């Protein structure tokens, strides 16, 4: 029974550390915008520390499988987000008249569908040896395999995409 509680605690800790990472990165961005370099550095290093904690907790919980299993899990998660989670969130945001939330939920929903397709492609082509490059839209999170003229989701110029 205690082992089950430990697994639950590991997953709760993973979620908390993961959220702290993103929160601190948001705080760092704000501190940078305000010219508060030292605070920005502290938030960034703390975000990295939280990531270290989260990754180790996830590993100890036994949640990291083979690359094939991990791709299947990613497909499932992204599919849930674009088919179930974001449509519901989007509907509520529209009803409440929250235009900013409506916009980000729309961007995320469309981007998650692209992510699921990319994970499927990666799963189907795991034996491929040719290096693939990915390009991230810094506005909506869309990912492309080549630099587009403009983002198909939010319209940002392709020159703004970040290469991976």
Burial 82-118 (b: 16+ CB within 10 A, else e): beebbeebbeebeeeeeeeebebbbbbbbbbbbbbeb
Contacts of 104 (CB under 8 A, 6+ apart): none
Nearest to 24 by CA among 42, 36, 7, 6: 42
Residue 40 token pair = 């920005």
Residues 55 and 92 in one domain: no
Q: Does residue 135 sit in the same domain as residue 81?
A: no
As given in the structure block, the two tokens for residue 164 are: 């991976």
Percent of the chain with pLDDT over 90: 97
Shared domain for 92 and 125, answered yes or no, is: yes
Whether residues 44 and 72 fall in one domain: no
Task: Note down the domain range covering 122.
Answer: 66-130
pTM attached to this predicted model? 0.90
Task: Assess whether 35 and 70 both reside in one domain.
Answer: no
pLDDT at 1: 59
pLDDT tens for residues 86-143? Answer: 999 999 999 999 999 999 999 999 999 999 999 999 999 999 889 999 999 999 999 9
């Amino acid at each position: 029974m205690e082992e089950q509680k430990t697994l639950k605690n590991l997953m709760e800790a993973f979620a908390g550390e993961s959220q702290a990472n993103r929160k601190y990165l948001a705080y760092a961005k704000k501190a940078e915008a305000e010219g508060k370099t030292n605070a920005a550095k502290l938030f960034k290093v703390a975000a990295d520390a939280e990531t270290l904690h989260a990754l180790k907790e996830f590993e100890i919980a036994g949640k990291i499988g083979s690359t094939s299993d991990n791709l299947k899990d990613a497909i499932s998660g992204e599919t849930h987000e674009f088919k179930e989670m974001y449509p519901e969130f989007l509907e509520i945001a529209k009803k409440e008249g929250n235009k900013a939330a409506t916009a980000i939920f729309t961007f995320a929903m469309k981007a998650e569908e692209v992510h699921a397709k990319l994970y499927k492609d990666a799963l189907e082509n795991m034996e491929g040896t040719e290096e693939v490059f990915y390009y991230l839209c810094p506005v909506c999170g869309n990912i492309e395999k080549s630099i587009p003229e403009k983002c198909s989701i939010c319209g940002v110029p392709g020159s703004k995409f970040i290469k991976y």
